[in-house]
Amino acid sequence: MPAYNAETTLRKTYEEVMAQGVVDRVIVVDDKSRDRTVEVARSLPGVRVLQHERNRGYGGNQKTCYRAALDEGGDIVIMVHPDYQYTPKLIPAMVSLIGSGLYDCVIASRILGGYALPGGMPLWRYVANRALTLWGNLFLRAKLSEYHTGYRAFSRRLLEALPLEENSDDFVFDNQMLAQTIWAGYTVAEVSCPTRYAAEASSINFARSVRYGLGCVATALEFAAARAGLLRSRHFPPGLRLRARPPID
C-alpha cells in the first residue's frame, strides 16, 4: 500500500484486505504523510511499515513498495491504495489469475461494467480517462479498457524484469509501468471493479491531472518511436522484450 495521508481509511482497507484470506504479508510505505498514517499502520498486526524521510512522490513510493515486496519473497504482489477507493474483495480473483500461470499482470478496471460514473467519478475525469486510454491503445497497439486504475497485481518475474527505477517518481509511473509490461510482451488481464469516490479518497488536482495526462501522451509516443527504431529509450530497451516468457502450462 503506497500511503499518503491515509489515517482515516488505512485500517478499514487493511481489515478488508486480510478478510480475503489470501494475503500473507502487508507492506505500507508512507510517503512523508502529514497525519497519523504511520502511527495507524504500526498498530496493525503483522504489517511492515516503511517511512520515507522526504516525500518522494507516488511513483517513488511504489518503487519502494515493490522492492520491499520482492525482498519479502513475494511471488504475487498486489498494489492497492489505502484510501478505500478500490474494494479489496477483488484480491482473490486477481491472485488466482496470476497464480494459475495465465497472466503476469492483472488490473482492476473501473470502466469494464460501467462502474466509473455511477461510482462517483467526475465527468471530466471520465472523459479524460477514455481519451487517454484511446490514445494509449492506438500507440501501444493494445486493447485495455483503461490505463489509469490504481489497483494492480503482478507476478514476481514481471516485477524483476521491468526497469522500474528508470520510471518517473510522479503519477505517470503507473502509465509507464503498464507500457513497459506491454512492451516486454506480457499479456495484461482485466477484472471489472466498482469504485468509490468519497471525501477521504485521495485525488490529484486539475493541474497535476493535466501534467499526468501529458505524461501519458508522451509515454505512448516514446513507446511507438522506440518500436519503430527512431530512438533508444531507457524506458523501453530492446532487451526487455526478450525477458518475457509464455504463460506456465
Report pLDDT digits (tens) over 202-236.
Answer: 567 888 899 999 999 999 999 999 999 999 999 99
**What digits encode the pLDDT tens for the residues 107-133?**
999 999 888 898 888 899 999 999 999
246: confidence class by pLDDT, cuts 50, 70, 90: low
The mean-pLDDT minimum among 91-95, 153-157, 231-235, 241-245 falls in: 241-245
Q: Can you give the pLDDT at residue 202?
A: 58
Question: What's the domain count of the chain?
Answer: 1
Whole-number pLDDT of residue 198: 64
The overall pTM is greater than 0.75: yes
Q: What is the pLDDT averaged over residues 150-173?
A: 97
Q: How confident is the model at residue 96, as a pLDDT?
A: 97
Give the pLDDT confidence score for residue 178 in this predicted structure. 98
Q: Is residue 110 part of a domain?
A: yes
The pLDDT, as a whole number, for residue 220 is 98
Q: What pLDDT does 120 receive?
A: 86
| pLDDT (mean) for 139-160 | 96
Bridge partners (DSSP) listed for residue 188? 105
pLDDT higher than threshold 60 for residue 156: yes
| pLDDT at position 249 over 70 | no
Residue 25 lies in a domain: yes
The H or E element containing residue 82 is: none
In a domain, 243, yes or no: no
Query: 67 pLDDT exceeds 80?
Result: yes
| Helix, coil or strand: residue 44 | coil
The domain that holds 165 is classified in CATH as: 3.90.550.10
Residue 245 within a domain: no
249 assigned to some structural domain: no
Cell of residue 137, nine digits: 491503445
Length of the chain: 249
The SS3 assignment for 146 reads: coil
User: For the chain, what is the mean pLDDT?
Assistant: 93
Q: How confident is the model at residue 239 (pLDDT cuts 50, 70, 90)?
A: confident
Whether residue 242 is contained in a domain is answered as: no
**Res. 247: pLDDT tops 80:** no
Which domain range does residue 77 map to?
2-236
List the grid coordinates of 115: 462502474
pLDDT at 242: 57
pLDDT at 205: 81
pLDDT over threshold 60, residue 155: yes
Instruction: Kindly state the average pLDDT of the residues 42-52.
Output: 98
**Is residue 241 situated within a structural domain?**
no
For residue 26, tell me if it sits in a domain. Answer: yes
Which among 166, 14, 4, 143 is positioned nearest to 78, based on CA atoms? 14
Distance, CA of 83 to CA of 199 (rounded, Å): 10
Closest CA to 18 of 39, 44, 50, 40: 44
- What residue has cell string 489497483? 151
| Region 57-61 average pLDDT | 98
